[in-house]
Structure 1
């Protein structure tokens, strides 16, 4: 890893934790409330990572009003149940402990609302590793990953040249590039190798152990 790197921004879903169960259950709850039948549950993986409202709009061709209702219903389930139907990826705790012990500053940069991201990190006792936690707002603003990263940079007074973004989807890589920041793509999450390779991240790794080795160099 380049010796100038001091700050590491992490995505949450598909990078630190596997949220599939809670996200899928929350989507199905929202669809049931709207009277929409979903016959291909396995395809709901596409919701993991991108902004939620946009995913509802695209997959179900909803009006703006119905998309807003879908998000509201989704959050009814997610806020009480879905956010805890989640699990940490193998090696995450060891990775974060290693990075903090080697004086890296860690920041969370997620399209998930900040209030939920904070609860998830606290639930798994991961919040203690992070200097800052930044996500979207509940009014569906700052959902684009470029905006999230820009907010981390501005509010935490970071220099993009000594910072790097770690994530599993193309949005993480694009967001980093839009903020003149390098990126690391992980392949154990929900972005396919094809999806992330097209965006040309600076590094691609397949496990938390590989991430640890990368920051050891």
Structure 2
């Protein structure tokens, strides 16, 4: 199903209904899979704090904040901040220091987007299984969920390094489907990046792109998710009526 483009003054909820087939519920959705950063949580403040500390140069603070808000992988963030010609040795040092600081954080600056806890509870109470597929490493992911009291909401939490090696988002989704003994048509994947949409579409999973996190409208529309949600409040309609 192609993405409907917003035209004129069409409200965002009307846009969601148009993309999702009006009020036709996707009754076969049994599994809702979420990305983490920029979808469930605004993690940027704590990531930026750890990266600033690892770099150790206050003149880079503004660039760090911008790079983090773009939702880039750590390697790319470091190159954006310090330039493409940074030595491998310095990049590895900053990466190690970042992980050392970030992995023991109390994540005080990391917060679920307003309405997310209520959304997850409502979906779970409806009988759907909730899962996470994230390019974040397992240690900080589990610590964040534990700190925020949300660990038990999810049946599976699959991280980029959960299998002991780096994997693609598509591979993470494949693991979730396999472990849940389900098929793509019974799942919806919610994420804030075009990579999330592409991974879901490649597997035949319905996708919902969100714009309240780190995603950009033009790129998200071009990626072609089944629905686009501007606000958390629209996610329930986007998840239940996608496809």
Fold shared, TM-score > 0.5 on shorter chain: yes
Alignment-derived partner of residue 157 in structure 1 = 181
Alpha carbons of structure 1 residues 90 and 66: separation in structure 2 relative to 1, 3 Å: same
| Structure 2: segments with no counterpart, 5+ residues | 1-24
Pair 1:53 & 2:88 matched = no
| CA–CA distance in structure 2, aligned partners of residues 147 and 58 of structure 1 | 27
Alignment map for 1:184-199 (pairs within 5 Å): 184-199=208-223
2-side partners of 1:13 and 1:30: how far apart? 20
SS in structure 2 at match of 1:165: strand
How far is 1:73 from its partner? Answer: 1.1
Q: 1:4 aligns with which of 13, 28, 36?
A: 28
CA gap 1:8/1:53 in 2 versus in 1, 3 angstroms: same
**Residue segments in structure 1 that go unaligned for 5+ positions in a row:** none
* C-alpha contact 1:167 1:186 (8 A) present in aligned 2: yes
TM-score (norm 1): 0.87
Q: Counterparts of 2:80 and 2:48 in 1: how far apart (Å)? A: 16
More off after superposition, 192-201 vs 68-77: 68-77
Higher relative contact order, structure no. (Cα contacts within 8 Å, ≥ 6 residues apart): 2
Structure 1 segment 56-205 matched on structure 2, within 5 A = 56-57=78-79, 60-61=83-84, 62-81=86-105, 83-137=107-161, 141-205=165-229
State TM-score, norm by structure 2: 0.78
1:40 to 47, 63, 79: 63
Of the structure 1 ranges 75-84 and 36-45, higher mean CA displacement relative to structure 2 is found in 36-45
CA gap 1:80/1:154 in 2 versus in 1, 3 angstroms: same
Per-residue deviation at 1:106? 0.3
Deviation at 1:159, TM superposition (A): 1.4
Alpha carbon RMSD of aligned pairs, Å?
Answer: 2.4
